[in-house]
Amino acid sequence: TQRLLEILAKYDVKATFFVVGSNANLDVRLKAIVDAGHGIGIHSMTHKFEEIYASDEALLNDILTLQDLILQKTGVKTTMLRFPGGTNNTASKKYCEGIMTRAVEKVTDLGFQYFDWNVDSKDAGGAKTADEVYRNVTNGVDGLKIAYVLQHDTKGFSVDAVERIIQWGLENGYTFPPLTPESPAFHHKPNN
């Protein structure tokens, strides 16, 4: 995270971090993200699908627990979230039939804004090098008016691609604002 924050600062570019509550050094990371003016959102306390998607109550508890933790550590009460595996994940079906369809309605009713992606860096499956991530992102973004890129700072090779991606984006007229709850959202259709 720290290396990514340094790259973003070098270009005065903002990103949105959907965080996992069980990550090491979370206090330091959350503060650094917020202090640098980046967006912060809820991803999951544990990222363990068998726990998160065990029931509607378990999923909601996971979301609210992380929301409270982020508030305690940063003073920011975020209402932005990205479901583990995305809204269209089918892994949740293994644990609780129909949970994603119900979750979309429930979180919206509670005032959350959920986000999915329309460009996948494939750094969580498929891509193994910075060059692959760079190509996946730039090819995916090219021609889009608004791009929501899925990329992870837990993959060193993916962070290695960020500076080149930013340079390409700036050269091609793109801007990099952080998401806010008012941002237009890209949603996948629930598959469960």
Closest CA to 113 of 68, 79, 65: 79
d(CA 185, CA 148): 9
pTM for the whole thing?
Answer: 0.94
How far, in Å, are 26, 76, 133, 167, 178 from residue 143 at the CA level? 36, 34, 18, 16, 20
> pLDDT tens across 68-127, in order?
999 999 999 999 999 999 999 999 999 999 999 999 999 999 999 999 999 999 999 999
- Cβ pair 79, 40 in contact under 8 A: no
Is the predicted pLDDT of residue 24 greater than 70, yes or no?
A: no
Amino acid at 118: N
CB burial of residue 127 (10 Å; 0-12, 13-18, 19+): buried
Burial readout 3-25 (b: 16 or more C-beta within 10 A, e: otherwise): ebbebbeeeebbbbbbbbbeeee
**What is residue 28's predicted lDDT score, i.e. its pLDDT?**
86
pLDDT at 86: 97
